[in-house]
Chains A and B, each alone.
Chain A
Amino acid sequence: MKYTFILRRLLAAVPVLLIITFATFFLMQLLPGGPLAAYENNPEISQKDIERLRHEMGLDRPIPLQYWAWLKNFVQGDWGYSFTTKRPVLTEIWDRLPNTLYLTGISLIVALIIAIPAGIISATRQYSAFDHITTTLAYIGRSMPVFYSGLLLIIIFSIWLRWLPSGGMQTLGTRFSLVDSLRHLFLPVLSLSTLIAAKYVRFLRTSMLEVIHLDYIRTAAAKGLSERVIIFKHAFRNAAIPLVTVVAIDLPVLFAGALFTETIYSWPGMGRLFVDAATRFDYSVVMGIVAAIAFLVVMSNLLADVVYAILDPRITYS
């Protein structure tokens, strides 16, 4: 039963991916400019040279043909070459992916370590001072954009106090050291994990509040179980089910990178690769990343559904 469900979902993903890549490809072509736009305003480069390059790069072919050529190669595992760097798209992505996973992975872990206890305490001590502080902080954390809070942190910790570096992954010209790496990691992780934790705290708090007013919790309390057992064994485990799915759906972000955080802290990750590629009309790199992220989104949604069914026996798919 379950396998046919997974199979059906995977098959349904094929048209979704086709539509996403097709739409991306055509929307990019609608934009004024193109990979050769940078050549247009350069008196050194003649119109003849531009026409020659357009032909050599295959940009003079009809757009549906260009898409078809891309799709055919992509399905066979050939992601093509970057229009600007002339390097394989996969090389471009592999160069950035570890940096992004390092940042987003640690941020997610830190966020969960903060969010789970904070969410539980906040719900069980509803309207206490802790609850008020937590919800206020979560509210601020959720609504303050990184491009603002990040600059604020850089001004305080890097320019005024000079405690932490303002960006990059390591001190250039020195050998790799863990301390140095963690110092560079601190501010970006702080920014990013605040954002993620704030979302999870609010989510978990609401979910806990729903659960602890249910009858079976009252029954457990009436049976004389200790508060710890009630909260962790009976309340949290049920309240955590929706959180697990939210985290699962967030997983593609781990790969896509955090655009603003990477930009503010000069982090050489996927988010910046994508923006650079988009602004340079580097079609093949944009297409590669969009296709990969779209695939991961589809997969993580499927994963969320499957995990939900495993955690919650009441849910069955047919």
Chain B
Amino acid sequence: MAKRGVLFLMLAAAVLGLCGIANAQKTITLGVYQEPENLNTYIGVQTVITYVHKPFAEYLIDVNEKGEYFPVLAAEVPTLENGGVSKDGLTITYKLRKGVKWSDGAPFTSADVKFTWEAVVNPKNLVKSKSGYDLIQSVETPDEHTAVVRYKEFYAPFLTRFAPVLPKHVLGKFENINDAPYNRMPVGTGPFMVTEWASGNYIAMAKNPHYRDADKVKVDKLFFKIIPSREVGIAQLQAGDIDGVWDLIETQIPMMENNPALALCLSTSLTSERLILNHSTPVPPNNGNPDFPHPILGDLKVRQAIDCAIDRKAIVDKLLFGKAQAGASEIAHGWAANRDLKPVAYDPEKAKKLLDEAGWKAGPDGIRQKDGKKLRLKITTTTGNKLREMVQQVLVDQMKKVGIEFYIENVPSSVLFGSWANDADRKKGRYDIMMYTTGPGIDPHQQFEGYFHSKNIPTEANGGSGYNYTRHRDAELDKWIDAGGKSISMADRANAYRMAQKRTYEIVPHIYLYQRLTIHGFRSHVKGWIPNGNGIIDAVETWNVADWDVQK
């Protein structure tokens, strides 16, 4: 009898042991080819930071996969209708979610919202951008769950501020937050919390026991493994050493596609690969001065001809495996997108006609000429990017068909994107056509104003600030951009940006080639991720990590 009891106990122990294995902790390891410089998005500048900080850091307002704002730490999105936004747009009242705790157990209150503003504007802090925060007059905290933000002047993208909220009880005691322990060992309100950071190796996170929906979080541990490159990441994903790999590029799609153990998470981002056409002369001493138009590109008909001589479908199908979306205008999706604008149709005959009208007649070598000058343009992009170099080759061929000669002269990205002080060609307007990627955030205002408003042409007088590298000046475009920045109602703003997009479509400062894809690889046992091409700071696929699961 006693023996049987022992046997039974042993069996029970064995069964329990097996159950223990079956209930083993769920772990997801994600490979990232950049090591975050720190995890404080107010200080750090790398794109990987938003991807890694999403599991622990929360914003007042965030954006879902449809491009709609939704409240996170706020209880609702403030609007004119619900009284969250005052009639003059200067006072924003955030009602905060109740019962939220930081991962160390301290309560989240309106004092944290106020502290976030104070930290950003504190001159001792090496904050990368104070945009918007420097327009705030005061943040009032009538009670623990209400924060009233008063702006000195209307700041249209106000919903994108306070992303994320910083913990006052952790950071408030430091004179500056530049090297505070928080930056590597942050305290957040999200579903996970950072438990360890082994430099150059990995960042470990565990389920946050104080998270408001902790019992709904299925994954126990999250690792961000630092890998040297995307290629190594793909190899480790194929070998099963990691469960996901961050931020792949379009040319890597075929390496992943036909493997049933892997899944691709593709989302169309808000950024697009484009041609930026210089409207002013590239020749010194008047380079970059809009009063001296570009001898070729200054003519709208030539810009339109280039636009419809590009076969976007061929580029997407041949070089991007049919996965990307052809580019149409600045805002591809989200609340401010103009969905009536379609990618310019490929029409070489129309291009030829436009060039004829502009006075560019076919020359003996097939290249058009006018007054003895050839229709010859330099196209510049960053060196070392194979996809861009292939796109350039295709463009050269497509232009040749209508009698335009493109010649390629590429430079390293640090040269192309250099500053005014470094005498960079982009800032000084010494180029014909540049090709690179940029795009708006979910609130397009900064991008639209920076790239398209005539007041943002870089000049000596403004210290080279602004991104209007094409140096176009268009009163109607300026009017709509200003309306987008000044209207308080979201509907009016959306309409203003739609009109602004329509105007850029007509005057062609930029030619949109294709929308960039955000590409992440996963092993197929990782479930629950939802591609999201929108984001307050960047589009990040870890936005709904609380819903992820592992099912082997």
Residues of A within 8 A of B (CB): 31-33, 36-51, 53, 56-57, 81-82, 84-87, 92, 95-96, 99, 151, 154-155, 158-159, 162, 165-169, 172-173, 262-264, 266, 268-269, 272-273, 276, 280
Contacts and interface: CB of A to CB of B under 8 A. Distances in A.
B410 interface: no
A141 B464 CA distance: 53
Contact of A263 (B179, B225, B228): B228
28 contacts: A31-B414, A32-B422, A37-B418, A43-B446, A43-B447, A43-B450, A43-B451, A45-B45, A45-B128, A47-B462, A49-B129, A49-B130, A56-B126, A86-B38, A86-B43, A86-B126, A87-B184, A92-B199, A95-B198, A95-B199, A154-B239, A165-B239, A166-B232, A168-B202, A169-B201, A263-B229, A266-B226, A266-B228
Contacts of B266: none
Contacts of B412: 32
A81 B35 CA distance: 17
B418 A39 contact: no
B447 A266 contact: no
Given A51-B463, A154-B235, A41 B438 contact: yes
Contacts of A50: 419
Contact of A273 (B29, B43, B200, B229): B200
Contacts of A84: 37, 44
Interface string B405-441: 0000000101101111010000000000000001011
A228 to B, nearest CB: 46
Contacts, number: 153
A268 B221 contact: no
A46 B200 CA distance: 31
**Which of A87, A151, A173 has most B Cβ within 10 Å?**
A173
B359 interface: no
A96 B198 CA distance: 9
B121 to A, nearest CB: 12
Contact of B236 (A38, A81, A155, A266): A266
Contact of A85 (B38, B238, B467): B38
Contacts of A172: 27, 29, 202, 204, 223, 225
A84 B466 CA distance: 25
Interface residues of B, number: 61
A47 B241 contact: no
Q: Which of B131, B241, B438 has the most CB of A within 10 A?
A: B241
A44 B438 CA distance: 12
A173 B25 contact: yes
Question: Most chain-A Cβ atoms within 10 A of its Cβ — which of B43, B227, B235?
Answer: B235
Nearest to A158: B239
Contacts of B414: 31-33, 37
Contact of B29 (A82, A99, A173): A173
Nearest to B198: A268
Contact of B417 (A37, A43, A92): A37
A63 to B, nearest CB: 14
B252 interface: no
B128 A173 contact: no
Contacts of A46: 129, 131, 465
A173 B418 contact: no
Nearest to B415: A32
B225 A159 contact: no
Contact of A158 (B131, B200, B241, B440): B241
A42 B225 CA distance: 26
B489 interface: no
Given A84-B37, A266-B227, A167 B126 contact: no
A258 to B, nearest CB: 13
B56 to A, nearest CB: 18
A155 to B, nearest CB: 8
B240 interface: yes
A266 to B, nearest CB: 5
A44 B163 CA distance: 13
A44 B466 CA distance: 11
Nearest to A100: B200
Interface string B377-413: 0000000000000000000000000000000000010
Interface in B185-211: 198-202, 204
Contact of B129 (A36, A44, A173, A266): A44
A243 B412 CA distance: 43
B465 A48 contact: yes
